[in-house]
A and B are shown apart, each in its own frame.
Chain A
Amino acid sequence: MSVLEIIDLHVSVETDQGTKQILRGVNLTINEGEIHAIMGPNGSGKSTLAYTIAGHPKYHVESGSILLDGVEVLKMTVDARARAGLFLAMQYPVEIPGVTVTNFLRTAKTAIEGEAPPIRTWIKDVRQAMTSLRMDKAFAERNVNEGFSGGEKKRNEILQLELLKPKFAVLDETDSGLDVDALKIVSEGVNRAKVNTGLGLLLITHYTRILRYIHPDFVHVFVNGRIAEQGGPELADRLEDEGYDRFLVPSNVG
């Protein structure tokens, strides 16, 4: 069984005002088949955690470790992490000019599997996944994310999740900007991926509403760059009622 371990992770970014410490000792273990929700107020470092796992060059790891089945992920290039079985569904997926969705998916699948997927089953898989996500066939021939609406971009992320079949996926605020219908469709896709591949999920969200459709096994409250409290699904219900106020340290105003 696969396991993703984050151990005492400290991360900073360079800003115009100098180095800014964002993650201050994150510890988290996710087993295959588990769904972990990370919830927290804006600016608590949730997205930094997501991008650090994926290897975005903007984030500097000061200390700590991320292990995938005991292998250090931090030493891998971004593409090697994906090939090792990690996936990040981004909050703001970028447009890729000149590359169609079809071409992109096939290239990514080939890179991850190490060989081109058998053409007939692949086309069928893509079509089926698109139909399940209520994506029009025309999407396949459009350039990746070019002119996509917010909801279309999120569906395209989940389409990749379903087709690339990672061991662990981080969903960075996948629920943001989605209306309730789109949220249901996207959540169904995530649940389907979990049933089909048994992957582990790290669900990053500000709000509890996506947790109505994707049921977490564990909930972690993220405040000021580390996990402040953890528990089961009941913790999410409590946050729904109380908000994050009780976790926020009173700051010196003025």
Chain B
Amino acid sequence: MSAASALSKSAPTTVPESSTPAPESVLPAGQHGIKKHSDGRFGYVPVQTRSDRFKSVKVADFETVTGREAVWKHSPVAKFTDLTAGSLDGSRYQIESTPSADVSVEWVPRTDDRIGTAGLPEDRAAANAWGVFDDALAITVSGEEAKEITVTRSGLGTSARGAHTIIEAKPFSQATVILANTGDARLSENVEIILGESANLTVVSLQEWNDSAVHLANHFASIGRDARLKHVVVSLGGSIVRVNPSVRLAGPGSDALLLGLYFADAGQHLEQQVYVFHDAPKSRSRVNYKGALQGQDARTVWIGDVLIGNKAAGTDSYEQNRNLVLSEGTRADSIPNLEIETGDIVGAGHASATGRFDDEQLFYLQSRGISEAEARRLVVRGFLTEVVQQIGSPELEARLQLAIEAELIGTDDK
């Protein structure tokens, strides 16, 4: 099933009327049914090139969020006005981190040179967070040996917060950094990921928040010459989780693998807006996001923007999103966009598919002796394992398999 047909099955969103209605006087009086063309009913012209989108670190530079903006139109904005319009607590918070040689975890002042080098906010919640943080959490990786570190946040509480994180991989360094999120949160944050020449960094952002948590995150990555970033977003727990990774392939030969894994239960909103900017020759990117949806009003959004800039000759890119719908009452939006400014590329492609696990499939599996619960597990595990297996951390992979099983059992009870 194509994404389009999946969308047509789901409940339509209310699209606002054009903000510039035609003056009545220019229309022939009294003619039945005539009115100005609605221009796709949005009433504005979208930004043409993805890299030209408005950026600012000042919250006041952004209009009050209405939910009609391109970046917000799929999000339940009324449920987190505290993060887009309220004042945020920007103080330090409690973290736990596993010790590792050649990785430092420390709080650094706003004046740190690295801040703002990987990217700048493109929405109001991100700018709001940018304005308030007292200190940034800096995770700095050096040393050529492979290592893994987990930084856990579990006590963010229920008041609205803004935060800033820097993850820097020094030239030729190698590491896996896992950002593990549990407990309560109402958080808007920016995460900057900076890869020096030939660095090899894996960043996993793991959202296993409590049921009521709201988390809006923008990750900005800048990848140097011949460096490799593997970026993984895993969203399982939380009420509203929106993690938007934005990656600039800044150096020649740079490489990005962006993976995503999400499982939306009843009432959950899980969103990811992925942006890959090929800004250097011979750069390569792969995007693969997979999600499952089960339960009334389980909602997922995936937007995949790829921009191949005019400096990016000889690039190779492919992005895909797959969704598996396990029950009625869910909605999956999947929107791939590809912009190419140079004709000299090795490859550029995208794919999107949203498929249902339906009663006929269940009957088929059951008719071979497999119980209903096992049939669901089989399908979901098979579907999501492709992404899990690419993470490259055996311990985390095993944990995620268990977490996915738990999601299935949790929804069986409902």
Residues of A in contact with B (beta carbons under 8 Å apart): 54-57, 77-79, 81-83, 87-88, 90, 93-100, 103-104, 107-108, 111-112, 143, 160, 164
Report how far A104 CA is from B361 CA in the complex, Å: 12
A79 touches B379 (CB 8 A): no
Beyond known contacts A79-B369, A94-B360: 19 more, CB 8 A cutoff: A55-B367, A57-B363, A77-B366, A78-B366, A79-B367, A82-B366, A82-B369, A87-B367, A88-B367, A96-B365, A98-B384, A99-B379, A99-B382, A103-B378, A107-B370, A108-B365, A111-B374, A112-B368, A112-B369
> For window 336-372 of chain B, which residues contact chain A by CB distance below 8 Å?
355, 357, 359-361, 363-372
B229 interface hit (Cβ, 8 Å): no
Residue of B369, B379, B384 ringed by the most chain A CB atoms within 10 A:
B369
Nearest-neighbour CB distance to chain A for B369, whole angstroms, equals 4
Q: Which residues of chain B come closer than 8 Å to A143, judged between CB atoms?
A: 382
Q: Which residues of chain A come closer than 8 Å to B384, judged between CB atoms?
A: 98
B166 interface hit (Cβ, 8 Å): no
A97 with B379, Cβ < 8 A, contacts A56-B363, A82-B367 known:
yes
Q: Which residues of chain B come closer than 8 Å to A57, judged between CB atoms?
A: 359, 363
B380 interface hit (Cβ, 8 Å): yes
A108 with B368, Cβ < 8 A, contacts A94-B361, A97-B324 known:
yes
Residue of B357, B366, B378, B384 ringed by the most chain A CB atoms within 10 A:
B366
A111 touches B369 (CB 8 A): yes
B367 touches A99 (CB 8 A): no
Report how far A79 CA is from B359 CA in the complex, Å: 14
B62 interface hit (Cβ, 8 Å): no
Identify A96's interface contact among B371, B379, B381, CB under 8 A. B379
Identify A108's interface contact among B357, B369, B372, CB under 8 A. B369
Q: Which residues of chain A come closer than 8 Å to B381, judged between CB atoms?
A: 98
B364 touches A96 (CB 8 A): yes
Report how far A78 CA is from B375 CA in the complex, Å: 12
Report how far A97 CA is from B384 CA in the complex, Å: 11
Identify B371's interface contact among A55, A79, A87, A100, CB under 8 A. A79
Report how far A99 CA is from B383 CA in the complex, Å: 7
Residue of A54, A96, A100, A143 ringed by the most chain B CB atoms within 10 A:
A96
A164 touches B368 (CB 8 A): yes
Closest to A89 in B: B367
Report how far A93 CA is from B367 CA in the complex, Å: 11
Report how far A111 CA is from B379 CA in the complex, Å: 15
Q: Which residues of chain A come closer than 8 Å to B364, judged between CB atoms?
A: 90, 93-94, 96
Q: Which residues of chain A come closer than 8 Å to B374, judged between CB atoms?
A: 107, 111
Q: Which residues of chain B come closer than 8 Å to A87, judged between CB atoms?
A: 367
Nearest-neighbour CB distance to chain A for B401, whole angstroms, equals 14
Closest to A77 in B: B366
Report how far A98 CA is from B324 CA in the complex, Å: 9
Report how far A56 CA is from B362 CA in the complex, Å: 10
Q: Which residues of chain B come closer than 8 Å to A111, judged between CB atoms?
A: 368-371, 374
B357 touches A78 (CB 8 A): no
A82 touches B355 (CB 8 A): no
Q: Can you offer 28 A-B residue contacts whose CB atoms are under 8 A?
A: A54-B363, A55-B367, A77-B366, A79-B368, A79-B370, A90-B367, A94-B360, A94-B361, A95-B361, A96-B364, A97-B383, A98-B379, A98-B382, A98-B383, A99-B378, A99-B379, A103-B378, A104-B365, A104-B378, A107-B370, A107-B374, A107-B378, A108-B370, A111-B369, A111-B371, A111-B374, A112-B368, A160-B368
Report how far A4 CA is from B221 CA in the complex, Å: 66
Report how far A100 CA is from B382 CA in the complex, Å: 8
Q: Which residues of chain B come closer than 8 Å to A100, judged between CB atoms?
A: 382
Q: Which residues of chain B come closer than 8 Å to A103, judged between CB atoms?
A: 378, 382
Closest to A99 in B: B382
Report how far A57 CA is from B366 CA in the complex, Å: 12
B378 touches A54 (CB 8 A): no
> For window 362-413 of chain B, which residues contact chain A by CB distance below 8 Å?
363-372, 374, 378-384
Q: Which residues of chain B come closer than 8 Å to A97, judged between CB atoms?
A: 324, 355, 357, 379, 382-383
Report how far A234 CA is from B367 CA in the complex, Å: 33
Nearest-neighbour CB distance to chain B for A82, whole angstroms, equals 4
Nearest-neighbour CB distance to chain B for A150, whole angstroms, equals 16
Closest to A79 in B: B366
Q: Which residues of chain A come closer than 8 Å to B360, judged between CB atoms?
A: 94
Report how far A79 CA is from B364 CA in the complex, Å: 9
Q: Which residues of chain B come closer than 8 Å to A95, judged between CB atoms?
A: 361
Q: Which residues of chain B come closer than 8 Å to A82, judged between CB atoms?
A: 366-370
Nearest-neighbour CB distance to chain A for B399, whole angstroms, equals 20
A79 touches B372 (CB 8 A): yes
Report how far A77 CA is from B370 CA in the complex, Å: 11
For the complex of A and B, list the 3 residue pairs with the smallest distance between their C-beta atoms, beginning with the closest.
A98-B383, A98-B382, A82-B369
Nearest-neighbour CB distance to chain A for B88, whole angstroms, equals 40
Q: Which residues of chain A come closer than 8 Å to B366, judged between CB atoms?
A: 55, 77-79, 82
Q: Which residues of chain A come closer than 8 Å to B368, judged between CB atoms?
A: 79, 82, 104, 108, 111-112, 160, 164
Report how far A70 CA is from B212 CA in the complex, Å: 54
Q: Which residues of chain B come closer than 8 Å to A160, judged between CB atoms?
A: 368
Report how far A103 CA is from B369 CA in the complex, Å: 14
Closest to B370 in A: A111
A54 touches B369 (CB 8 A): no
A78 with B383, Cβ < 8 A, contacts A97-B357, A108-B369, A111-B371 known:
no
Q: Which residues of chain A come closer than 8 Å to B371, judged between CB atoms?
A: 79, 111
A54 touches B367 (CB 8 A): yes
Report how far A79 CA is from B361 CA in the complex, Å: 13
Report how far A160 CA is from B368 CA in the complex, Å: 9
Q: Which residues of chain A come closer than 8 Å to B363, judged between CB atoms?
A: 54, 56-57, 78
Report how far A94 CA is from B367 CA in the complex, Å: 12
Nearest-neighbour CB distance to chain B for A116, whole angstroms, equals 13
Residue of A83, A87, A108 ringed by the most chain B CB atoms within 10 A:
A108
Nearest-neighbour CB distance to chain B for A250, whole angstroms, equals 37
Report how far A97 CA is from B326 CA in the complex, Å: 11
